[in-house]
Amino acid sequence: MSELKLYIGNKNYSSWSFRPWIGMKVLGVDFIEELIPFDMAAGNPKFKAFSPTGKVPVLVDGEQTIFESLAILDHLSRKYPAQAFWPKDARAHSHAMAISCEMLGGFSALRNQCPMNMRRPVVKMEQDEALQKDVKRIETIWSDCLAKSGGPFLFGEFTIADAMFAPVVNRMEVYKLSDHPDVLSFIDNMKSLDAWQEWEKAGKAEPWTVEEDEA
Ligand SMILES: N[C@@H](CCC(=O)N[C@@H](CS)C(=O)NCC(=O)O)C(=O)O
């Protein structure tokens, strides 16, 4: 039985939950998942029972509770040093951390206007100036990384940086935000992962609808 338990929200909508979940699946970490759906924009009061922030995701590793998606993945990179959670090259590691932090703290127009939604049909969204700015910056980040690494993932092999951008891959696709060739090929590479397909299938099958997240 696994010693790790990952608390997550709805697979259709919970972009922050998707990050550690896909990272752990692709990098081969055994864990038990506990899905507690939010059926309202303000989450679920039940999250407070296990989460210091009242938010998901949360990882319980024995006696320790780790919250915040990037902190969870970084914790696992130290717990399993043999697995390449971060790029092995020091400069690439720093770059992967930088863009992961940029994702964590930035792109508010994209996050607010285009919620992750696995069920959404692909329909183009009109972009205001703020959304265009976010999309352009993401195109630049992905293109630079893929040009340097040669792909198929941002740093060659799948790392935490890919996990941190996974929900953006869904947004780029379902809101048709970019026709940049590097964006399109990164979407294909991410979507071809077994873990992606497992999450997407489960998300599409969920019964819950959150009106605020149906953009
Ligand atoms: N910065 C946090 C964000 C966590 C977050 O906002 N999670 C959402 C679900 S995707 C949540 O739990 N929302 C409930 C609420 O805000 O009440 C992380 O990286 O884990």
Contacts of 20 (CB under 8 A, 6+ apart): 6, 57, 59, 69, 72, 73, 76, 163
**CB 37 less than 6 A from any atom of ligand 1:** no
Phi first, then psi: what are they for 4, rounded to 5°?
A: -105, 135
**CB 90 less than 6 A from any atom of ligand 1:** no
Mean model confidence pLDDT for the chain: 96
Contacts of 14 (CB under 8 A, 6+ apart): 8, 38, 56, 57, 116
**Domain residue limits, the chain:** 4-83, 90-197
Angle between helices 181-191 and 129-149 (to 10 degrees): 70
Express each pLDDT in 173-210 by its tens digit.
Answer: 999 999 999 999 999 999 999 999 999 999 999 999 99
Q: Ligand 1 test: best mutation among 7, 11, 15, 16, most atoms within 8 Å of CB?
A: 16
pTM above 0.95, yes or no: yes
Contacts of 116 (CB under 8 A, 6+ apart): 13, 14, 15, 18, 167, 170, 171, 213
pLDDT(41) > 70: no
Residue 168 tokens, joined: 């953006």
Q: CA 58 to CA 68: how far, in whole Å?
A: 7
Phi first, then psi: what are they for 87, rounded to 5°?
A: -55, 145
Least reliable range by pLDDT among 45-49, 59-63, 144-148, 168-172: 45-49
**CB 55 less than 6 A from any atom of ligand 1:** yes
Which atom of ligand 1 has the smallest separation from the CA of 70? Answer: 19
Give the domain 4-83 fold: Glutaredoxin (3.40.30)
- Three-state DSSP state, 50: coil
Cross-strand partners of 6: 33, 59
Predicted confidence at residue 43, as pLDDT, reads: 78
Express each pLDDT in 80-110 by its tens digit.
Answer: 999 999 999 999 999 999 999 999 999 999 9
Which atom of ligand 1 has the smallest separation from the CA of 9? Answer: 9
Which atom of ligand 1 has the smallest separation from the CA of 17? Answer: 10
**CB 43 less than 6 A from any atom of ligand 1:** yes
What's CA 177's distance to the chain center, in Å?
17
Predicted confidence at residue 38, as pLDDT, reads: 87
**CB 68 less than 6 A from any atom of ligand 1:** yes
Domain 4-83 and domain 90-197 have a common topology = no
Average pLDDT value for residue range 65-69: 98
Whether residue 145 contacts residue 154, with contact meaning beta carbons closer than 8 Å, is answered with yes
**CB 27 less than 6 A from any atom of ligand 1:** no
Architecture of the domain spanning 90-197? Up-down Bundle (1.20)
